[in-house]
Structure 1
């Protein structure tokens, strides 16, 4: 299964300097996460039915290269850290330009929230198993509960 997301930089992604604005990098990473979860059977319909949703505690971007309009980008998704039940996790995205040059690295720390109780929760066991199919980084760390 392919765990990458591909997209094209649109006019609306640009800032006053005519390169991709900082928040557009986060938008590309968020879409990559949603696409990966969808491929694993953790789509928004399932989350809505179970009253569960992903939340972020931290998002950090390291910008490496400028990105301009109409450039095609590939966003990778790897799991850096996770509890065995998938209840807390860290994911890394790399945004890569069409020429193979890495444009940015985005690290996020997150968890799952019960959208009715507005409290942190764990995924049901079968969904946690699916979540753990996200490719793991070479230095993946299993978090202790």
Structure 2
């Protein structure tokens, strides 16, 4: 096991195995941009679902995550069926939880980081169609995520209105 992967386990970072599929590949045999973004989205929902917030639970509560920006940084290639690990960490959070930054890191089996996806988002009230604060149990799930080394305190989008 690489030092980076061992460090992941010690910090209690949410991590899942990842293998790029045929449909994830571009014409050069590299993983496509959209595939990275889709895998990042999927890992976030796996984290929330595994913690009691399935898509049905979000719908029941009239609430959903909304991503406002994604930043993708490529570092090394991932090719078809390369074994990798996909992690999820908290990179920023507003005091009321209404805004968050989540970072996904794709790490190859050799320990090299293939890419990072940093996503800024918030919680959408599905009835009012406005950003809102999360319920306390969801807010606790965000705070339970391991924090990135560059974690930042954010301002609330609700305070900006």
1:132 counterpart SS class:
helix
Query: What runs of 5+ residues in structure 2 fail to find an aligned partner?
Result: 1-11, 157-161
Q: Is the 8 A contact 1:40 1:133 kept in 2?
A: no
Residue 65 (structure 2) aligned to one of 54, 67, 72: 54
Q: Which of 87-96 and 123-132 deviates more?
A: 123-132
CA distance in 2, matches of 1:16, 1:51: 40
> Given the alignment of the two structures, is residue 69 of structure 1 paired with residue 80 of structure 2, yes or no?
yes
Deviation at 1:2, TM superposition (A): 5.7
TM-score (norm 2): 0.83
2:56 corresponds to:
45
- 2 CA distance for matches of 1:127 and 1:106? 22
1:118 aligns with one of 125, 129, 141? 129
SS of the aligned residue for 1:36 comes to helix
Q: How far 1:131 moved relative to its partner?
A: 2.2
1:44-102 per-residue CA deviation (whole Å, 9 max, x = no partner) reads 12101011111111101011111111112211111111013321001111101122111
Structure 1 residues 12 and 107 mapped into 2: Cα distance closer, same or farther (>3 Å)? same
Name the count of aligned residue pairs: 145
2:22 counterpart of 1:18: no
- Find runs of 4+ consecutive structure 1 residues off by over 4 angstroms: none
Distance in 2 between residues matched to 1:33 and 1:130, nearest whole Å? 11
Hey, what's the Cα distance between the residues in 1 that align with 2:57 and 2:88? 21
Q: Would the aligned equivalents of 2:24 and 2:35 in 1 still touch at CA under 8 Å?
A: yes
Question: C-alpha separation between the residues in 1 aligned to 2:54 and 2:30?
Answer: 32
CA RMSD of aligned residues (A): 1.5
Partner of 1:82: 93
Q: Is the 8 A contact 1:85 1:129 kept in 2?
A: no
